[in-house]
Amino acid sequence: MLTFKDLGLEPTLIQAVEDLGFQIPTDVQKEAIPLLLNKNTDLVALAQTGTGKTAAFGMPLLQKIDSDSKHTQGLILSPTRELCMQITKEIQTYAKHMPKVNVVAVYGGANIQDQSKKIKKGAQIIVATPGRMQDMQRRKMVDIRKIDYCILDEADEMLNMGFYEDITAILSEAPKEKNTWLFSATMPSAVAKIAKKFMNSPKEITVGSKNSGSKNVSHEYYTVSGRQRFEALKRLVDAHPTIFGCIFCRTKRDTQRVAENLIEAGYNAAAIHGDLSQNQRDTVMNSFRKKQIQLLVATDVAARGIDVDNITHVINYQLPDESEIYTHRSGRTGRADKKGVSIIIVSQSEQRKIRSIEKLIQSKITHKTIPDADEICNAQMLHLAKKLSDVEPSDSAEKLLPSFLDQLDNLSKEDILKRLVTVELDRFYNYYSGKAKNLDTPKKDFSDDDSKSKVSKKDEVRYHINIGEKDSYDWRTLKDLIKGTLGFTSDEIFHVDVMKNFSFFSSGPEERDKVLEGFKSINIDNRDIEVSITEKFNPGKAKKLKSRDRGGSFSRGSSSGRSSSGRSSSGRSKPNPFKFSNDKKSSDKRRRS
Ligand code: ADP
Ligand code: MG
């Protein structure tokens, strides 16, 4: 069996690999590492997500640079800040026995002076997002005139995000003689174009078939009528009680909305998308990594390249426009030899897309029906039984048991068990045997939208309200307040952004007068509530002010934060939304609703 040593890596790197516990190199590592070590060549390497591409370029790069010299020799460009930090950390780990090597991350939304200082100390390797890199070039904080290696990581995604011009501009300062290594999961024509433009007869490595998915992932799809997408999602989640999943939506707005609706329905979910500030995104990602969040609802861009282990399910709440993106999504699961499931929710009219994805991933996508009440309750029952049989009785249980039994001394053991099952499972039975029993069978339903997205961005009316975080509101309690005051439903009010001293929210155009009227002469704790229409935070406009990879620094709020622990029926007590209370810590404030 081929080992890392056989690839020609030096002892310091072998040591790091051993420390990490990597046993054998992955396919792309087997091919790329010896090639890059032995030759000065340009390279295009295609391998699906999760196959260890970072090490495939990171290790040869570390071995090839001159660590005695302090000038910048390698530049790695990556599409997002998260990925940039992740690559930096990973390469630093590989370099842990190379004390003279300095790897510096350069990304938007963090202090540019700090990054500049780190580079001044001598950074042989810089890992950068395109926006911040250009900023630093303009300010002469980086010098790439003597780099030997340039790596374009997740090249397909960089191009998806429209970084073509930025890459061109950045590389115009780099020397012609450098080697360029391009790593990508898929090879759309834009990547072929970039290879042609920036590279000199590159070697090509393809692991697996181009654009194909992981063998560990099984694919299934469910047809629903457009209106019932969310209902279907809940059923799929309830039928998989141990799910640790990533749910993909097409737009930031849908992402936010689906997460909010899940949270309101008691699920342990959070959203991640480009409208969140960097800090908020970090918080969400960290909580997800630690499994404090069970369901992460994400846009493709925000979730890109992020390496979270043990994701059991990927759910395509909506299909992406381009089929290649599907392979990225499903690549979030089935990593490191674990099995994963990629679920697609489609409307009747989208079924033909399934065929084209099947072709691309060269694998069948099985048609399944949305689980019914019995299946869901059965799954929940099995889960409960397994939990009970697996749990190690604790000391405190031992202590509490006598008085617990005292309270129940008129009940038989069987009665107690029946009641336990009732307490734990009846909410599922009740919910799914009630009005939610049957999902419509999708007939001719070409409406692809949930009812809630009826309001187009253009028509969205945005309001300013003089209540904020300082009044102990988060998006949820503020949304409750607004709904309560106006007698509105959840869908009529959306995009609640809580700022420190004030907040924003939106409605459709029909609700406009009702909103403005409804808040006239409303007085809470002796304060007049003022609501007015605002233009300022029109997302479309705000966006234009920003360079792409600083997406979140405008700080448009977050749906970050902790969620309550799963679907506990007890729920947590919400503060009375009609009362200001200053004692409630807004630690779980979520911005946008
Ligand atoms: P990609 O860039 O191809 O999506 P990454 O480089 O992010 O994949 O690697 C995915 C995960 O696999 C990381 O957690 C990484 O540490 C791990 N990994 C990389 N190479 C190996 C290996 N040879 N053996 C075991 N794990 C590895
Ligand atoms: Mg990668």
Q: What is the pLDDT of residue 448?
A: 40
Answer with the residue of higher pLDDT: 431 or 142.
Answer: 142
Q: Which of 122-136, 206-220, 347-361, 468-482 has the lowest mean pLDDT?
A: 206-220
- Give the pLDDT confidence of 154-183 residue by residue, as tens digits: 988 888 778 888 999 999 999 999 999 999
Whether residue 549 is predicted with pLDDT greater than 50 in this model: the reply is no
- Give the pLDDT confidence of 99-115 residue by residue, as tens digits: 999 999 999 989 999 99
**Angstrom distance (rounded) from CA 411 to CA 417:** 10
Whether residue 387 is predicted with pLDDT greater than 60 in this model: the reply is yes
Q: Is 55 in the pocket of ligand 1 (CB under 6 A)?
A: yes
Answer with the residue of higher pLDDT: 476 or 61.
Answer: 61
Nearest ligand to the C-alpha of residue 307?
1
DSSP state of 580: -
Q: How far does residue 71's CA lie from ligand 2's centre (Å)? A: 25
Whether residue 464 is predicted with pLDDT greater than 80 in this model: the reply is yes
Q: Which of 551, 547, 553, 554 is nearest to 131 (CA)?
A: 547
Q: What is the pLDDT of residue 438?
A: 63
Q: Do β-strands 149-152 and 74-77 pair in parallel, antiparallel, or remain unpaired?
A: parallel
Q: How far does residue 60's CA lie from ligand 1's centre (Å)? A: 15
Q: What is the pLDDT of residue 138?
A: 95
**Angstrom distance (rounded) from CA 14 to CA 22:** 10
CB neighbourhood size of 460 (10 A):
17
**Angstrom distance (rounded) from CA 143 to CA 338:** 42
Mean pLDDT of 547-574: 31
Nearest ligand to the C-alpha of residue 18?
1
Task: Kindly indicate the confidence band of residue 133, based on its pLDDT and cuts at 50, 70 and 90.
Answer: very high
Q: What is the CATH number of domain 4-206?
A: 3.40.50.300
**Angstrom distance (rounded) from CA 150 to CA 319:** 33
**Angstrom distance (rounded) from CA 371 to CA 380:** 12
Q: What is the pLDDT of residue 579?
A: 28
Give, in words, the CATH class of 217-370: alpha beta
Q: What is the pLDDT of residue 260?
A: 93
Task: Kindly indicate the confidence band of residue 95, based on its pLDDT and cuts at 50, 70 and 90.
Answer: very high
Nearest ligand to the C-alpha of residue 80?
2
pLDDT, mean over the chain: 82
Q: How far does residue 29's CA lie from ligand 1's centre (Å)? A: 10
Q: Is 26 in the pocket of ligand 1 (CB under 6 A)?
A: yes
Determine the atom of ligand 1 nearest the C-alpha atom of 25.
23
Mean pLDDT of 126-137: 96
Mean pLDDT of 372-396: 88
DSSP state of 577: T
C-alpha dist (Å) from residue 298 to 11, 247, 261, 262, 315: 40, 6, 14, 13, 10
Q: Is 307 in the pocket of ligand 1 (CB under 6 A)?
A: yes
Q: Is 67 in the pocket of ligand 1 (CB under 6 A)?
A: no
**Angstrom distance (rounded) from CA 447 to CA 444:** 9
Whether residue 556 is predicted with pLDDT greater than 70 in this model: the reply is no
Task: Kindly indicate the confidence band of residue 306, based on its pLDDT and cuts at 50, 70 and 90.
Answer: low
In the chain, the largest separation of any two C-alpha atoms, in whole Å, equals: 86
Task: Kindly indicate the confidence band of residue 587, based on its pLDDT and cuts at 50, 70 and 90.
Answer: very low
Task: Kindly indicate the confidence band of residue 555, based on its pLDDT and cuts at 50, 70 and 90.
Answer: very low
Bridge partners for 506 per DSSP: 462, 494
Answer with the residue of higher pLDDT: 526 or 87.
Answer: 87
Task: Kindly indicate the confidence band of residue 434, based on its pLDDT and cuts at 50, 70 and 90.
Answer: low
Q: What is the pLDDT of residue 582?
A: 32
Determine the residue of 22, 23, 61 to mutate for testing ligand 1's pocket, defined as the one with the most ligand atoms within 8 A of the Cβ atom: 22
Bridge partners for 76 per DSSP: 127, 151
Nearest CA to ligand 1 atom 18: 52
Q: Which of 290-294, 354-358, 437-441, 548-552 has the lowest mean pLDDT?
A: 548-552
Nearest ligand to the C-alpha of residue 327?
1
C-alpha dist (Å) from residue 244 to 288, 332, 419, 558: 9, 11, 28, 21
Nearest CA to ligand 1 atom 22: 22
Same fold, 4-206 and 217-370: yes
Nearest CA to ligand 1 atom 19: 52
Whether residue 451 is predicted with pLDDT greater than 70 in this model: the reply is no
Q: How far does residue 161's CA lie from ligand 1's centre (Å)? A: 24
Task: Kindly indicate the confidence band of residue 552, based on its pLDDT and cuts at 50, 70 and 90.
Answer: very low
pLDDT above 70: percentage of residues in the chain: 84
Q: How far does residue 301's CA lie from ligand 2's centre (Å)? A: 14
- Give the pLDDT confidence of 190-227 residue by residue, as tens digits: 788 888 888 988 999 988 654 455 678 899 999 988 78
C-alpha dist (Å) from residue 529 to 276, 436, 498, 534, 560: 27, 38, 15, 15, 27
Give this prediction's pTM: 0.53
Q: How far does residue 334's CA lie from ligand 2's centre (Å)? A: 15
**Angstrom distance (rounded) from CA 15 to CA 135:** 37
Determine the atom of ligand 1 nearest the C-alpha atom of 49.
4
Q: Is 22 in the pocket of ligand 1 (CB under 6 A)?
A: yes
Determine the atom of ligand 1 nearest the C-alpha atom of 48.
3
Determine the residue of 51, 304, 306, 308 to mutate for testing ligand 1's pocket, defined as the one with the most ligand atoms within 8 A of the Cβ atom: 51
In terms of Cβ atoms closer than 10 Å to its own Cβ (0-12, 13-18, 19+), residue 529 is middle
Answer with the residue of higher pLDDT: 130 or 544.
Answer: 130
Q: What is the pLDDT of residue 526?
A: 75
Q: How far does residue 20's CA lie from ligand 1's centre (Å)? A: 11
Considering the domain delimited by 450-592, tell me its CATH architecture: 2-Layer Sandwich (3.30)
Q: How many CA atoms lie within 13 A of 20 on its CB side?
A: 22
Determine the atom of ligand 1 nearest the C-alpha atom of 56.
6
**Angstrom distance (rounded) from CA 507 to CA 523:** 21
Task: Kindly indicate the confidence band of residue 580, based on its pLDDT and cuts at 50, 70 and 90.
Answer: very low
Task: Kindly indicate the confidence band of residue 435, based on its pLDDT and cuts at 50, 70 and 90.
Answer: low
Q: What's the token pair of residue 435?
A: 């009005």
Residue boundaries of the structural domains of the chain: 4-206, 217-370, 374-432, 450-592
Nearest CA to ligand 1 atom 10: 50
Nearest CA to ligand 1 atom 12: 52
Nearest CA to ligand 1 atom 20: 52
Q: What is the pLDDT of residue 275?
A: 85
Nearest ligand to the C-alpha of residue 55?
1
Q: Is the dihedral of CA 575, 576, 578, 580 positive or negative?
A: negative
